[in-house]
Amino acid sequence: MAHEVAEPKRLFAEILAALKPGGLLLLVEPRMHVSEGYFAEMVADAESAGFARQGEEAIRLSRAVVLRRPA
């Protein structure tokens, strides 16, 4: 629930540092709490931290994306 974190950019940087090269992060946020625009901002924050978008996932009532730490 990245939308609950005060500093999402810092969160993504810390997760990136903890993952092995090539590691994956599934970012899932509930549609009723997180707008499409805010979700896009979170994905952009993750990408600016160094993640690469791997793909999107269909998860009921959620917005979801798979992010990858580059090798």
pLDDT tens track, the chain, 71 positions: 899 999 999 999 999 999 999 999 999 999 999 999 999 999 999 999 999 999 999 999 999 999 999 99
pLDDT score of 1: 82
Distance CA 24, CA 22 (A): 7
How far is CA 36 from each of CA 19, 41, 43, rounded to the nearest angstrom?
26, 9, 11
User: Which domains are delineated in the chain?
Assistant: 2-68 (3.30.110)
